[in-house]
């Protein structure tokens, strides 16, 4: 079932238009306050827009003209939309089976000939929870309860499934199993998932939109959007370093570009004077004078506490710069903090983060405020339009 959505709520700074194709899962990303919850509430019928229109496969969910107190607003129970919240919110007095059967029974007006319990058992089996049918919510773990909630949402046979941070309330050890379940049951189903977890987007979504300030600031196929961030939040979510600036020059054919950065850095490109420029590869021609972004993975950055071998014949306008072998960029920086993240140590500086092994971090003996040099190959830095 396809969705066409357009809504404005000036009091919340919300102005969004988006489409979701039939059978597509769309991930919605963005910082707190970006408008993600407002989007879900409008689709579920929990909020009335100031103006806008939403059409779900020919059914008008709402149609509110500008500056009008009238218009069509379909009540939630007639929309064919199911909302799965962060918390399972199961009925405490009902068993898992009765919880899942509640939607089909209500939708069919109590017609037992359709046998809601048979449908409920089918969906419990689909989410690997058939053995939990007789348990009440207080007898379920968090992961088990959320699987029951997924089955309950799908048992109503919604035309659109909304998921609001479905893994947020789960332990890290439990989330992968639910993610696998969702990947299976969402296949071919029209769905919108709001998430802060980049893994949810990569594993569950066909397409991604990034929201900020009540508006969509980026959209496209999942991997394309997440590999090419355009905002600090977007880059942090994708686990990438982001440098922004303006295209200064490009090599013939557009294989490499120089980007003049918007911030002052101590920087040196190969053995050429660079000032505040960073050279990066580009998989499409970029026009000089146009805004550009450069993304580098923290794992591709090498950190030293002494300057790399310097070519004394090279000068630069940067505050402090060194030259290294051609094809590499070196940035001078200062340590902000160190954080253990699994089997790596994340080093953060003013503009870049680098991932070190615990042995590398110990050998460097880094302290807050210490001057370091961050080095990366130009082939590991990707430039693209911003």
Encode pLDDT of 214-224 as tens digits. Answer: 999 889 999 88
Token pair of 377, please? 């190959």
What's the whole-model pTM score? 0.79
Is 283 a residue whose pLDDT tops 60? yes
The parent domain of residue 112 ranges over: 3-233
Residue 206 and residue 270 in one domain: no
- 385 and 257 Cβ atoms separated by less than 8 Å: no
Residue 210 and residue 247 in one domain: no
Token pair of 166, please? 């479905």
Q: What's the rounded mean pLDDT across residues 175-189?
A: 88
The rounded distance, in Å, linking the Cα atoms of 248 and 268 is 15
Instruction: Please classify residue 26 by burial: count the beta carbons closer than 10 Å to its beta carbon, then call 0-12 exposed, 13-18 middle and 19+ buried.
Output: buried
Q: Phi, psi at residue 263, to the nearest 5°?
A: -125, 155
Residue 188 and residue 296 in one domain: no
pLDDT tens sequence across 314-364: 333 333 333 445 688 888 889 999 999 888 999 999 889 999 999 999 999
- Helix (H) / strand (E) containing 103: helix 96-107
Q: What is the pLDDT of residue 274?
A: 42
Q: How many domains does the chain have?
A: 2
Residue 35 and residue 174 in one domain: yes
Is 171 a residue whose pLDDT tops 80? no
Q: What is the CATH number of the domain that holds 91?
A: 3.40.50.300
Looking at 180, 213, 233, which one is the last position of a domain? 233
Residue 257 and residue 349 in one domain: yes
Looking at 233, 258, 283, which one is the last position of a domain? 233
Residue 149 and residue 284 in one domain: no
Q: What is the CATH number of the domain that holds 366?
A: 2.40.50.100
Residue 66 and residue 113 in one domain: yes
What is the SS3 string spanning 138-150? HHCCHHHHHHHHH
Residue with tokens 């977007």: 234
Q: What is the pLDDT of residue 114?
A: 65
Classified as helix, coil or strand, 92 is: coil
What is the chain's length?
A: 386
Q: What's the rounded mean pLDDT across residues 217-242?
A: 87
Residue with tokens 């919240």: 85
Q: What is the pLDDT of residue 301?
A: 94
Interstrand relation of 191-194 and 160-164 (parallel, antiparallel or unpaired): parallel
Looking at 233, 257, 273, which one is the last position of a domain? 233
Residue 229 and residue 247 in one domain: no
């Amino acid at each position: 079932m396809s969705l066409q959505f357009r809504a404005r709520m000036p009091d919340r700074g919300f102005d969004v238009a988006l489409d979701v194709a039939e059978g597509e899962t769309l991930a919605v990303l963005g910082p707190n306050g970006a408008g993600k919850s407002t989007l879900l509430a409008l689709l579920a019928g929990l909020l009335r827009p100031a103006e806008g229109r939403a059409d779900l496969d020919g059914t008008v969910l709402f149609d509110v003209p500008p500056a009008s107190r009238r218009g069509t607003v379909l009540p939630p129970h007639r929309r064919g939309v199911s909302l799965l919240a962060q918390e399972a919110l199961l009925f405490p007095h009902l068993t898992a089976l009765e919880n899942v059967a509640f939607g089909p029974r209500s939708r069919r007006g109590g017609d037992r000939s359709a046998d809601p319990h048979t449908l409920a058992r089918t969906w419990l089996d689909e989410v690997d929870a058939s053995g939990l049918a007789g348990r009440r919510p207080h007898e379920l773990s968090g992961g088990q309860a959320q699987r029951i909630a997924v089955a309950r949402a799908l048992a109503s046979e919604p035309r659109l499934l909304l998921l609001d941070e479905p893994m947020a309330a789960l332990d890290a050890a439990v989330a992968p199993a639910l993610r696998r379940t969702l990947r299976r049951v969402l296949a071919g189903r029209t769905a919108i998932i709001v998430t802060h977890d980049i893994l949810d987007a990569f594993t569950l979504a066909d397409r991604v939109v990034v929201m900020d300030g009540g508006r969509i600031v980026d959209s496209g196929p999942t991997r394309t959007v997440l590999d090419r961030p355009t905002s600090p939040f977007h880059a942090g979510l994708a686990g990438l370093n982001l440098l922004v600036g303006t295209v200064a020059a490009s090599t013939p054919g557009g294989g490499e570009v120089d980007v003049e950065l918007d911030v002052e850095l101590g920087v040196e490109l190969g053995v050429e004077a660079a000032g505040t420029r960073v050279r990066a590869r580009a998989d499409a021609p970029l026009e000089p004078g146009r805004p550009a972004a450069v993304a580098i993975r923290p794992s591709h950055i090498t950190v030293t506490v002494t300057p790399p071998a310097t070519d004394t014949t090279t000068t630069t306008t940067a505050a402090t710069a060194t030259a290294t072998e051609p094809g590499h960029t070196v940035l001078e920086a200062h340590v902000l903090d160190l954080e253990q993240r699994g089997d790596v140590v994340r080093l953060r500086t003013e503009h870049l983060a680098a991932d070190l092994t615990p042995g590398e971090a110990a050998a460097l003996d880094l302290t807050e405020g210490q001057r370091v040099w961050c080095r990366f190959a130009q082939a590991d830095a990707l430039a693209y339009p911003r």
